[in-house]
């Protein structure tokens, strides 16, 4: 079946009590982006938080991921952060949770001269009552981390309503699936484990079964586009997911996900299902089309 978008207000109101302040802060952040013409077109939401809020994936994540095709040289970071703070000030009054959100710090990773840098922003949040609000001025206040990936073109974008009036830009599921497969393959190159992507891909495959051939082609095409400059050529083939190191890294900390999901499926059949989906992408057709383009 196709996935059903969930309203963010439903996501907040259905929160366990312990997570309520966190979810309210997420609502303020997304409302701020949706309200602001200089933020909304350039902050494309993706990742686990997107799946959790709008597609009912039960994996709990504390970070929000965004991408933009802009390069670091295109962005005045100080102006961007001030605009973000101003937008959150407005959003706070509109959602009326009695909460304050504020950009506390930022860092560019791996560094400002990298080809694919990420601006890591830490946003503190607290209710506007005495001691809680004072915590916003200190480094140990409650934090939400935003990972804002630059020079990351987005090929298939959807708009999702935050409320009856405003929307945010989000990765279409084609891009979500393509980027998660890229991240799984990149484990071997980056020497980093991405066990959560196997869980998320399994969720998407189970709940997005009407993937027609033309959509699978788009997934494969987007995967190739998103892999440019990532040194993934040795793994960009039909058997790429069978690479022993890719599988080993996917499974090493997979059991750790028991603390963030309601029910964790066994790794081996889950990895096999995800791998078979990857192998079912139209590799031969894609390679033929690519070769024709090169000949022209």
CATH of the domain at 62: 3.10.450.620
How sure is the predictor about 234, in pLDDT bands with cuts at 50, 70 and 90? Answer: very high
In the structure encoding, which two tokens stand for residue 41, read together?
Answer: 């077109």
**In which domain, by residue range, is 121 found?**
8-171
User: Does the pLDDT of residue 169 top 80, yes or no?
Assistant: yes
pTM, two decimal places: 0.88
Mean pLDDT of the chain: 90
Is there a single domain that holds both residue 154 and residue 204?
no
Q: Which has more confidence, 132 or 269?
A: 269
User: Pick from 139, 171, 203: which residue ends a domain?
Assistant: 171
Same-domain pairing of 208 and 282: yes
Domain count for the chain: 2
The string of pLDDT tens digits covering residues 5-26 is: 567 888 899 899 999 999 999 9
Q: Average pLDDT, stretch 266-276?
A: 98
Burial of 7 by CB count in 10 Å (0-12 exposed, 13-18 middle, 19+ buried)?
Answer: middle
Mean of the pLDDT values across residues 263-292? Answer: 90
pLDDT of residue 286: 79
* C-beta separation of 73 from 24 below 8 A: no
| Per-residue pLDDT at 289 | 72
């Amino acid at each position: 079946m196709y996935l059903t978008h969930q309203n963010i207000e439903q996501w907040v109101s259905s929160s366990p009590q312990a997570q309520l302040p966190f979810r309210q802060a997420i609502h303020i952040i997304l409302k701020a982006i949706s309200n602001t013409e200089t933020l909304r077109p350039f902050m494309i939401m993706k990742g686990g938080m997107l799946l959790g809020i709008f597609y009912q994936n039960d994996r709990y994540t504390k970070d929000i991921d965004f991408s933009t095709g802009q390069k670091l040289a295109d962005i005045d970071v100080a102006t961007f952060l001030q605009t973000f703070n101003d937008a959150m000030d407005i959003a706070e009054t509109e959602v009326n949770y009695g909460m304050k959100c504020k950009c506390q710090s930022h860092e560019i990773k791996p560094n400002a001269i990298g080809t694919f840098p990420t601006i890591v922003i830490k946003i503190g949040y607290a209710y506007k009552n005495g001691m809680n609000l004072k915590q916003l001025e200190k480094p140990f206040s409650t934090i939400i981390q935003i990972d804002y990936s630059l020079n990351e073109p987005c090929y298939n974008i959807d708009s999702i309503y935050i409320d009856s009036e405003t929307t945010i830009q989000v990765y279409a599921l084609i891009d979500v699936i393509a980027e998660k497969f890229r991240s799984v393959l990149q484990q071997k190159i980056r020497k980093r484990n991405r066990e959560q992507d196997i869980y998320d891909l399994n969720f998407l495959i189970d709940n997005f079964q009407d993937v027609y051939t033309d959509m699978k082609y788009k997934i494969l095409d987007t995967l190739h586009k998103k892999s440019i400059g990532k040194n993934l050529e040795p793994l960009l083939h039909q058997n790429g997911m069978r690479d022993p190191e890719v599988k080993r890294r996917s499974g090493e900390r997979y059991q750790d996900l028991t603390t963030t999901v309601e029910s964790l499926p066994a790794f081996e059949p889950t990895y096999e299902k995800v791998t078979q989906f990857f192998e079912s992408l139209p590799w031969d057709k894609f390679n033929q089309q690519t070769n024709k383009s090169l000949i022209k």
